[in-house]
A and B are shown apart, each in its own frame.
Chain A
Amino acid sequence: MPNLSAGAVTKPLSLWRRAMDLGATAFAIVAAVLVIVPLLAIFVYLLIKGVGALDWAFLTQTPKPVGEVGGGMANAIVGSGVILGIASVIGIPIGIGCGIYLAEYARGRFGDIVRFTADVLNGVPSIVIGIAVYSLIVVRQKHFSAFSGGIALAIMMVPTVARATEEMLLMVPNNVREAAFGLGIPKWRTTLSITLRTASAGVITGCMLAFARVAGETAPLLFTAFGNQFWNKNPNQPTAALPLQIYTYAISPFDEWHRQAWAGALILIIMIVVAVAAVRITTSRGTLKGAS
């Protein structure tokens, strides 16, 4: 074989280049580790602090009055579930619909306005959204409710879901749409059954991200769901939620409540992880081998 690379390639890399390579690789690894560390640290800390107060009563009973030992956050766990359910049922369809509009139909100015509005809404502090919903709904109804809490969280979910949906749909190659048009499939059908389906993995990730983000929100619930020390089965009444309960307990002067706040935080994280994992598993069951 002729030696084409006479010296140019066979010469060992200079010390400087090897050092740079090593440095860049080390930096990437350190950065990757730094991403994992906070989550891991939080989780481990929560486990240590929270497991102690975690028992069957915590999961099945309502809070006990100050001074009495025991009791739990069952009403807040269920309340959080109800509020998040309302938020998802409202926020996810609107967000996905908006994302579909932006990716598949928006032409020109109106699309830009919607996109800009979504980005701004995404940046609005959550307490401001809470106040807005308070004055729009709670003041008019003259009482707090799980509904108003759900709506506040839904408003926070919409922009995240919409932008994620838009981006995922735009990643679907145009020739997939053309293939569907070429078969005489109407545009709305193509969008729902072909394009959205092709992008579904990413869209679901976006929805889960939005869900996880609002699941821990306290501020928008302060003036909407308000919280409740007792069982409440009517979503039109003040309802307990885990973040509110954690907040109330954490700033209280009682040791017993502090312990329960830790346990509540642990349950909140577990709830989010379980919900996200459940959605992932159920939606990936239909996934095919070799599908891109």
Chain B
Amino acid sequence: MGVGIEVKGLNAWYGKNLSLKSIDMTVQANHVTAVIGPSGCGKSTFVRCLNRMHETIPEARAEGLVKVGEMEVYAPGQDPVEIRRRIGMVFQKPNPFPTMTIYDNVAAGLRLNGFRNRKQMDELVERSLKLAALWDEVKDTLHKKSGASLSGGQQQRLCIARSLAVEPEVLLMDEPASALDPISTSKIEELIFQLKQHYTVVIVTHNMQQAARVAEFTGFFLMGSLIEYDKTEKIFTTPADKRTEDYITGRFG
């Protein structure tokens, strides 16, 4: 089951550059929340702060309150590795481990975290690939083909399966379909719709139609600030802020 996320006063820096300015946001459990905004507005930085991926970049840091379920992400002494285990992430560019088989890609998160039970691993791999709607396409070549030999859309679904295998509570997706063709995109979107039964999904997207299609809630970011956050329908029909309206109607800039 997914859990909710509560963000209060989140600031993030790249070196001395403040790129997220005191963000407050509450993400509903088992819903899809979209984050939209122009390039460089801080939307990717925002989701990368939720699982502490932001700080893996040299000189980048973040502070504020982020609560995922009962877990305080920025509490002192909190291990970022443990957080990332519970908050899965799918990236813009499909990034399967190139030297591993399809099976090993999905099992990697389990195996490298010390999971040893062979039979349970088989089950988890199959379940994750089924959830990611990839099972039927790869079940005969699980141990034969490299993850990198799949098509772009398949690779991205493989990456989703890989994230799901470690059974996270939240799934963060950073423009998961922006490098894919329309057919693969619609498959991923369909998948996101299915996933919210089990997970809380936060998706960053450049594509406003995509946000409208998949998300119940949408947040609009601009220059490091959260301008407006509401039900997707409200954002796209009667936005409260002039800047949101300008952006979604394409009158921006």
Contact = CB atoms under 8 A, between A and B. Distances in A.
Interface of A: 107, 173, 175-187, 189-190, 193-194, 197-198, 200, 287-292
Nearest to B96: A179
A178 B56 contact: yes
Interface string B80-104: 0111111011110101111111000
Interface stretch (B158-166, B182-190, B225-233, B234-242): B158-166
A169 to B, nearest CB: 13
A178 B82 CA distance: 15
A292 B148 contact: yes
A288 B97 contact: no
Contacts of A200: 99
Interface stretch (B107-115, B118-126, B194-202): B107-115
Given A176-B95, A179-B159, A186-B81, A290 B109 contact: no
Nearest to B101: A288
Nearest to B82: A184
B51 interface: yes
Nearest to B110: A183
Nearest to A184: B85
Given A181-B53, A291-B98, A175 B148 contact: no
Given A178-B53, A178-B91, A182-B89, A194 B108 contact: yes
Contact of A290 (B90, B97, B148): B148
A127 to B, nearest CB: 40
Contact of B53 (A182, A187, A189, A288): A182
A184 B109 contact: yes
A288 B88 contact: no
A185 B111 CA distance: 10
B167 to A, nearest CB: 11
B145 interface: yes
A124 B126 CA distance: 55
B84 A175 contact: no
Shortest beta-carbon contacts, A-B, top 7: A290-B149, A184-B85, A183-B109, A182-B89, A288-B146, A291-B146, A184-B84
B51 A180 contact: no
A182 B58 CA distance: 17
A197 B99 CA distance: 7
B97 A182 contact: no
B98 A176 contact: yes
